[in-house]
Amino acid sequence: MAGESILIVDDNMVNVELAEYALEIAGYTVRTAGDAAEAQEVLECFRPALILMDVQLPGMSGLELTRLIKADSHLHDIIVVALTSYAMRGDEQKALDSGCDGYLTKPIETRSFAGSIAGYLRGES
C-alpha cells in the first residue's frame, strides 16, 4: 500500500527516524509528532491512513490520545497501531481496549516492518 500516509507519534527520535526511514523507503508519506499535543496539531491539516502510536508519551499518553481520535467523528476511521517497548502480559489488550487497531513492539524489525504496516492498511492484521 505504498503511497499511503502515516503519522508516527513517538518522543524517542531514534525510534522515529528508524520507523520513518523504513516506511519512506517502502514508498509511504510520513509525518511525525513528538507528543500528543503535536499529534493533535498535525491531525488538523494532515489526514493519515494510519497512525503509529507510542503508548508512553510525555503529557497525555498514546492510549489516551487514541481514545480521543476514535471518539472524533472526523478521525475515528484512521487505523491506529500501538508501537511500544512495553511488552508485558496484558499490554496488548490494554492498547486494543483503548481503541488501537493493532499492536507492534519495539525495537522494530526493519526488514518486516513495512510489510506489517501494509497488512494493517489492507485490514489483514
The predicted structure's pLDDT at residue 28:
97
pLDDT at res. 86:
66
Instruction: Check residue 110 and give its pLDDT.
Output: 86
Q: What is the pTM of this model?
A: 0.94
Q: Name the stretches of the chain with pLDDT < 70.
A: 1-2, 86-88, 125
Domain edges within the chain: 1-72+109-125
Cα 95 off chain centre by: 12
pLDDT tens profile 49-67:
999 999 999 999 999 999 9
C-alpha cell at 100: 488501537
Closest C-alpha among 6, 3, 102, 83 to residue 47: 6
Residue type at 47 in one-letter notation: R
Peptide bond between residue 58 and the one before it cis (omega within 30 degrees of 0): no
CATH class of 1-72+109-125: alpha beta
pLDDT of residue 106: 87
Alpha helices in the chain (DSSP H): 13-25, 36-43, 62-71, 91-97, 110-121
Which residues lie closer than 8 Å to 22 by C-beta, 6 or more apart?
Answer: 108, 110, 113, 114
pLDDT confidence of residue 2? 66
